[in-house]
Amino acid sequence: MSTSYKDLGLVNTKEMFAKAVEGGYAVPAYNFNNLEQLQAIVQACVESKSPVILQVSSGARKYANANLLRNMAKGAVEFAKELGCEIPIALHLDHGDTFELCKDCIDSGFSSVMIDGSHHSFEDNIALTKKVVEYAHAHGVTVEGELGVLAGVEDDVVAEKSHYTKPEEVIEFVTKTGCDSLAISIGTSHGANKFTPEQCTRNEKGVLIPPPLRFDILEEIEQKLPGFPIVLHGSSSVPQEDVDTINKFGGALKDSVGIPEEQLRKAAKSAVCKINIDSDGRLAMTAAIRKVFVEKPGEFDPRKYLGPARDALKELYKHKNENVLGSAGKA
Ligand code: G3H
Ligand code: 13P
Ligand code: ZN
């Protein structure tokens, strides 16, 4: 039996994106796969009155159980209401790689799906995306397509080199597929090591400074698709404080580098209306948990380390909404 996202109290991304493009901000898309992450996302977005996209990868579905995750999203809607603010919440499949996976998510209550055909040929990407769009739109579900390849880990797909989106392809892709938003590659990358040290410069403290995003490509795409919602993946900033805390308390992160918040702030004011953040949450959680483990070695109640991790996550998400994406107050 299939479940509509409407029965779960969720919304698709249509109106969210129309408002974001109009208002010059980006809606946060935060990945989750456990309770504390979801609690932190909902608390932060309610407190900052931000719309939010709850993002689930196929790996997350396998990890947490698809049925349980869907019901957690339903619970998130009720939790937000209980906290006193009815923010728009979408449940989105991150990096869907097959029609069958997208269909399964649509049938089980997702309000939005990404079909990532970026590793296929242009023609095959169009055909696959179009097939997903036809099924999704028949169920009121919105679809994100992708053109161009990000370096780093794309779910199970590891791309060693990025291929920037070709602006000359975007009109044909969007017209032929009917997708509702488009993820592009302008120099962002997945994970906490987005660039090699050789690709970066160093500041006076020896901290790695990444190469700037290709705003020239983004501008060309905007000119070709005025008002069309653009998505940025791989948009964690990899805060140095979290990396330092992790390493101080026994971690071994090396040459970690992210996308500077200043550049994301600029992107959010453009046609970019969805910004994906996962790694920054992983770092914040890990830093908080490592700290408790070292400072309180006698502690073995999971709430005593997952609680501080949840608090750190909530602060992170509020900061992103208020100071980077501009989504605070837009719910
Ligand atoms: O882009 C990938 C996301 O960060 C999800 O990662 O496949 O490890 O859940 P995951
Ligand atoms: P980060 O690894 O930069 O957080 O990117 C997450 C992402 O793009 C999820 O699709
Ligand atoms: Zn991604």
From ligand 3's centre to the CA of 56, what distance in Å? 10
In the chain, the N- to C-terminal Cα span, in Å, equals 32
CATH T-level topology, domain 5-325: TIM Barrel (3.20.20)
Give the C-alpha separation, 154 to 305, whole Å: 29
d(CA 30, CA 28): 6
**Ligand 2 in reach of 116 Cβ (< 6 A):** no
Output the CA 299–ligand 2 centroid distance in Å.
32
The token duo for 175 is 């017209």
Give yes or no for residue 95 CB within 6 A of ligand 1.
yes
Atom of ligand 2 nearest to the CA of 278: 4
Beta-bridge partner residues of 163: 149
Q: What pLDDT, on a 0 to 100 scale, did the predictor assign at position 1?
A: 80
- Choice among 7, 94, 104, 180 that is catalytic: 94
pLDDT for 206 equals 84
Say what the pLDDT of residue 160 is.
57
Distance separating alpha carbons of residues 7 and 4, to the nearest angstrom: 5
Contacts of 302 (CB under 8 A, 6+ apart): none
What lies within 8 Å, CB to CB, of 44 at 6+ separation is 50, 313, 314, 315, 316, 317, 318, 321
Report CA(57)–ligand 1 centroid distance (Å): 6
pLDDT 10s digit of each residue in the chain, 331 long?
Answer: 899 999 999 999 999 999 999 999 999 999 999 999 999 999 999 999 999 999 999 999 999 999 999 999 999 999 999 999 899 999 999 999 999 999 999 999 999 999 999 999 999 999 999 999 999 999 999 999 999 998 764 444 445 566 999 999 999 999 999 999 999 999 999 999 999 999 899 989 888 899 999 999 999 999 999 999 999 999 999 999 999 999 999 999 999 999 999 999 999 999 999 999 999 999 999 999 999 999 999 999 999 999 999 999 999 999 999 999 999 999 9
- What whole-number distance in Å separates Cα of residue 115 and Cα of residue 66? 18
| Full-model pTM | 0.96
What pLDDT shows up at residue 157?
A: 46
Side-chain half-sphere CA neighbours of 112 within 13 A: 30
Residue 187 burial class via C-beta count within 10 angstroms: exposed 0-12, middle 13-18, buried 19 and up: buried
